[in-house]
Amino acid sequence: MNKLSIVLSLCLLSPAITTAHSLNAPQRASLIDTGYDFCVLSNGKNCASNKNLLFRGDEPLDDENNYTYDPEQFRSLIFNYIQKFQAVYSTKAYLPQTMDELKNYRIVIINLLYDGNNHGTDDEYNELSKEFKYSSAVTTEPLPEQHKIYGLHTVFDPNHFAFQWWPLTLMGAKNPDGIETNLNWPNQESVPVPRSDQFYKRIDFQYLLTGNLHPGDAEPDAIDLITLLMSQPEDGHPLLIFYHCVAGVDRTGFVTLSYFMNYGGYSNLIPQLGYTYLTRNSPLSFKEALKATTNNGYRQPSESAQVSAQSYCLTLGKYAEECER
């Protein structure tokens, strides 16, 4: 069986967990990487001046209070994590020492939810709609256009955030259209991704992770994680990049697993004793990446997220044993 056949056979996705969680527990937000560390890893220039931070987490709005956004609460929870991080991990990257310093960061939220207006859930639709609203974006579309970032180059406002919609789904067999393999891998683009009656461009997950377009795709308004992490804003406000789904487990876990396997990064195992990674990890195997995504606050990524990440592992050209579950 060739690699393509293995990848396709592994892409049978099971239903995602969609239990709603708001960002109300500090341990559910974790630092994945810093602009400084990635810059050094990739032999970049002026790395010491790159203060960008990449976080993963669950939905940043308060779903128990009509999906409201409290920037002070958001920063407080992030800062609480940073303080714990500094006590455990060793890095030469600059990390905010006070809340006032953290307020200098432009928050960039990358939403991995799908449009629930027709075929999805009200929870995801409400979260997506309100994030669009709080980003102060203006569009004639019912919801933001796919793969488009809003507000990144506006005048800095600590109470707003820049916003990008990147709708990954792990709906699996319960997809109303009956399509089980509904995540478009770079080599599987014949599979449609119907999630609403609106028109969707192709999903290019590889581009979100690497910034490399698959032939035939065009994402002219999209900004991938690595480009964001490596950019140094001219206005002097570094970026706090926060990607999420609802519970921070399924789609977020999938992206995090894939990031760790591509680049390495910081494990979020702070609460667990005996774990030896106290510095930035090099690129990890699937099993190592799975361990690095899990702590007392994060349960393991769902079965569908793990299957997807394992199949993505095989596309990276790793040895087969590095992709074993």
pLDDT at 233: 94
Mean pLDDT value of segment 186-206:
44
The answer on pLDDT for 274 being more than 80 is: no
Mean pLDDT value of segment 275-297:
82
Distances in Å between the Cα of 104 and the Cα atoms of 38, 84, 99, 238 are: 21, 20, 9, 7
Return all residues near 182 (Cβ < 8 A) that are at least 6 apart.
13, 169, 171, 172, 175, 191, 192, 193, 194
Enumerate the β-bridge partners of residue 288: none
Mean pLDDT value of segment 210-218:
69
pLDDT at 188: 36
For tokens 């507000």, what's the residue? 151
3-state secondary structure of 300: coil
Report the alpha-carbon distance of residue 116 to residue 22 in Å, rounded. 18
pLDDT at 43: 92
* Higher local confidence (pLDDT), 208 or 194: 208
Structure tokens at 134: 């709080």
The answer on pLDDT for 118 being more than 60 is: no
Report the alpha-carbon distance of residue 244 to residue 143 in Å, rounded. 18
Mean pLDDT value of segment 230-259:
92
Q: What is the pLDDT of residues 66-84, one digit of tens each?
A: 899 999 999 999 999 899 8
The answer on pLDDT for 31 being more than 80 is: yes
* Higher local confidence (pLDDT), 4 or 279: 279
* Higher local confidence (pLDDT), 13 or 112: 112
Q: What is the pLDDT of residues 38-63, one digit of tens each?
A: 999 999 989 999 999 999 998 999 88
